[in-house]
Amino acid sequence: MKHGYLIQRLIMFFVVIVLAATLNFIIPRLAPGDPVGAVLEELRARGASTGGDAEDEIVAAYRARFGLDQPIHIQYVSFLFNTLRFDLGYSISYYPQKVEQALLRSLPWTVGLLAISTLMSFAFGSFFGALMAWPRAPAAVNRFVPFFMILSAVPYYLLGLILVYIFAFVLRWLPLGGAYASGTVPELDLDFILDVIKHGILPALSILLTSVGFWALGMRGVMVTVLGEDYLTLAEAKGLPDRRIFFAYAMRNALLPQVTSLAIALGTVASGSVLVEVIFNYPGVGWLLYNALRSSDYYMVQGVAFFLILTVAVSVLIVDLIYPLLDPRIER
């Protein structure tokens, strides 16, 4: 049974990855024209090319160079093979760098910023949500509820813009954007770390404020169910202290489904980062993507898209593999 479950999950993972690569192959080819033609059109529009025999030769040469003259199924197989080896092609704007090199360079910034703020938001939101469902919680807890609920409906990058305006532009307390002061060389000393933290506060805050409500709502829902369980009544009847019932009996059990969401949320860190990095000029994966879109660096756009799917698929796989350890009922 155990092997069956494992194999099923692994197949699912593989299907998602192949599907992602396939979409990356098909969608750009559905658009009218081919990449070489598109570049040529642009050259013509700028008056840099006048057509004629010489042009046809250039086109043929380029088509051969990018493998576009081969039958479509051979193109597909080699594309698939390259993608699965994480060979995502050359970036046009960072040439001669490859897409995956640029990706790996920006990744630490994204993971650092987003993972930390997601974890903080998870911890705070879950605790807060558990308190919301707890009948003996201080009444003040429920007074914050509407505030967080409303914030959770606001996209984080919109809140981010407002925060930047207030704290960076008007009050000038914090930097406007970027990950560190321009002109400094990244090195591991205290000044640089403090600078990075200072630059991270606003983007982290905009994510934190808008996602706390999500965690709190989810936790409250599970907590309400857990509070109705018999073992909680028993714990109370035994006369256990409130604090112990709350943490060890109620919250601990209610956290289980939350952990699944956390793993998936951590997987979507990369795709969630896109817009917040655009707003804050933060040099992560999202910023890379934004620049690639602006400079029509299609290989980079596709590479980032594939990478976003890959990170989620990996984290879903990890959850699927870990979950039976947490809750043995799942396997059946």
The closest of 273, 310, 297 to 83, measured between CA atoms, is 310
Q: Give least dist CB 16 to another protein, A.
A: 6
Q: Is 133 in the site for another protein (CB under 8 A)?
A: yes
Which residue spans within the chain are E strands per DSSP?
A: none
Please, how many CA atoms are within 13 Å of residue 320, restricted to the half-sphere of its CB? 18
Q: Which is nearer to another protein, 192 or 298 (CB)?
A: 298
Q: Is 150 exposed, middle or buried (0-12, 13-18, 19+ CB in 10 A)?
A: exposed
Amino acid sitting at position 214: F
| CA pair distance 163, 203, nearest whole angstrom | 9
Q: Is 227 in the site for another protein (CB under 8 A)?
A: no
Q: Is 82 in the site for another protein (CB under 8 A)?
A: no
Q: Is 144 in the site for another protein (CB under 8 A)?
A: no
How many residues of this chain bind another protein (CB under 8 A)? Answer: 54
Q: Is 23 in the site for another protein (CB under 8 A)?
A: yes
Q: Is 173 in the site for another protein (CB under 8 A)?
A: no
The total of other beta-carbon atoms located within 10 Å of residue 216's CB is 27
DSSP per-residue codes, 188-241: SSHHHHHHHHHHHHHHHHHHHHHHHHHHHHHHHHHHHHHHTSHHHHHHHHTT--
Q: Is 24 in the site for another protein (CB under 8 A)?
A: yes
Quick note: the x/- pattern for another protein over 303-322, rule CB under 8 A, is: -xxx-xx--xx--x------
Q: Is 152 in the site for another protein (CB under 8 A)?
A: yes
Q: Give least dist CB 144 to another protein, A.
A: 11
Q: Which is nearer to another protein, 110 or 271 (CB)?
A: 271
Q: Give least dist CB 142 to another protein, A.
A: 7
Options 6, 59, 116, 154; binder of another protein; rule CB under 8 A: 154
The closest of 301, 268, 260 to 276, measured between CA atoms, is 268
Q: Residue 316: which residues within 8 A CB-CB, separation 6 or more? A: 13, 263, 264, 267
| CA pair distance 79, 21, nearest whole angstrom | 8
Pull the structure tokens for residue 246.
């709350």
Quick note: the x/- pattern for another protein over 242-271, rule CB under 8 A, is: --------------------------x--x
Q: Is 302 in the site for another protein (CB under 8 A)?
A: yes
Taking contact as CB under 8 A, which single stretch among the options 52-60, 196-204, 216-224, 240-248 is the one that binds another protein? 216-224
Pull the structure tokens for residue 161.
């813009």
Give SS3 for 298: helix
How far apart are the two ends of the chain, measured CA to CA in Å? 8
Q: Which is nearer to another protein, 24 or 117 (CB)?
A: 24
Angle, vertex CA 164, rays to CA 160 and CA 165, nearest 5? 120
> Applying CB under 8 A, which residues contact another protein?
12, 15-16, 19-20, 23-24, 27-28, 30-32, 132-133, 142, 145, 149-150, 152-155, 157-158, 161-162, 164-165, 169, 176, 220-221, 224, 268, 271, 274-275, 278-279, 289-290, 293-294, 298, 301-302, 304-306, 308-309, 312-313, 316
